[in-house]
Structure 1
């Protein structure tokens, strides 16, 4: 495995299935963006971070679990409709939300410690969501197993993640400037940015399913 092949496979899957991914994930991303915008207006920029993160923890587990379930189905040759995938994702929501809350807290604390610890934690926990959804592991067990599985593949996950996130981070700065002048355009562009960040989940899952030792 190398980053270029992972990125190529990721884009191939994403572009081939975009007709399903848009109705599956984008509505939740738009709702999340709208809620975060309203929280920002009500709480002010200084108090936005904790409340904005809380809003993300409500919606992120739904569309991310839906995406993971869809990728699992695609790999197994199964087929479920959007509503069936949403229903399955909602059943996973309590455990997924808890996992997201713990990992987000650890990453934020790590980022506050000179950034690098936060990036390290983010990469080491890259497979925890897949382990929770596909294997039915508890949040703590999935985090522990993700730490084990990423051993030896840290830089592959890191380089692949940065290749996807760097353009998104650059675009976010431009989108924030537009959002100040046009809230509607800001919501639309933030939603589009959030949608393309799903590439990170697709890429991480591609690496996860190719790990030779993942079933050991």
Structure 2
């Protein structure tokens, strides 16, 4: 069953590469542009005991644009499933309409996942698994953040372990593909900014696999509610 779901996710992602790239590329460009202009969001110390450096402006741009990027992608996934992929502006408009609620939803999710991290990796992953339907409920069903999070927790009850496992598999596939891509690009392109851009654009497309995985289980949960 897990292998079948994994194939369905890969198939949907591959079949809709163009529409997905259409809505992920602009936000990848925004992230790269902000780091060119204001510096990297984070710079880890090269030596033990060194201080973590970061750019407040770049970090703010990333944190504030992420919910908008996720909402735009969710709108595109729903449009693609209907057989009529939408344009960037249409998907962006759908996300902008619920942006305050999306921002609040992701903020609450971040707090929950962070608390899970205090108890190590698995609790954080479990919390994300139980709450991952909430952004879909906000964008596609216009739920408020609290109702969306509560309903997500209820909707994932019956399929929480298969969903958790598929998220782990998809994440591992993402890490593997991204690592291979980054190694190939950096071996060919020596200019750091150009290499970062050439890696960032396809990585944003690959990362959409996680959204597609959640969307597939979201559809199954919707079918269960209908029946």
TM-score range, shorter chain: 0.7 to 0.9
Question: What is the CA-CA distance between 1:80 and the residue it aligns to?
Answer: 3.5
Residue 169 of structure 1: aligned partner: 175
Q: What displacement does 1:150 show?
A: 0.8
Which residue number corresponds to residue 207 of structure 1?
217
* Structure 1 unmatched runs, 5+: none
* Residues 74 and 39 of structure 1: CA distance in aligned 2, closer, same or farther (over 3 Å): same
| Contact kept in structure 1, 2:41 and 2:55, CA below 8 Å | no
Is the aligned partner of 1:194 residue 2:194?
A: no
1:31: which partner in 2? 30
Deviations 1:141-174 (A, max 9, x none): 1111111111121111111111111133356667
1:1-216 to structure 2, matched below 5 A, reads 2-36=1-35, 41=40, 44-45=43-44, 46-48=52-54, 54-77=60-83, 80-170=86-176, 175=182, 178=186, 182-211=192-221, 212-215=223-226
Pick which of 142-151 and 49-58 moved more.
49-58
1: CA distance, partners of 2:41 / 2:212: 34
Report the alpha carbon displacement of residue 189 of structure 1 after superposing the two structures with TM.
Answer: 1.3
Which structure has more helix as a fraction of its residues? 1
Per-residue CA deviation, residues 13-68 of structure 1 (Å, 9 max, x unaligned), is 22222122212221112312443566654764314498766433322222221221
Contact 1:36 1:55 (8 Å CA) reproduced:
no
Q: Normalising by the residue count of structure 1, what TM-score does the alignment of the two structures yield? A: 0.83
Gaps of 5+ in 2: 45-51
Q: Structure 1 214/33 Cα, relative in aligned 2: closer, same or farther at 3 Å? A: farther
Counterpart CA distance in 2 for 1:89 and 1:166 is 28
Residue 214 of structure 1: SS of its match in structure 2? helix
Give, in angstroms, the shift of residue 198 of structure 1.
0.6
- How far is the alpha carbon of 1:77 from its aligned partner? 4.9
CA distance in 2, matches of 1:181, 1:111: 36
Q: Distance in 2 between matches of 1:42 and 1:164?
A: 26
The number of residues matched between the two structures is: 215
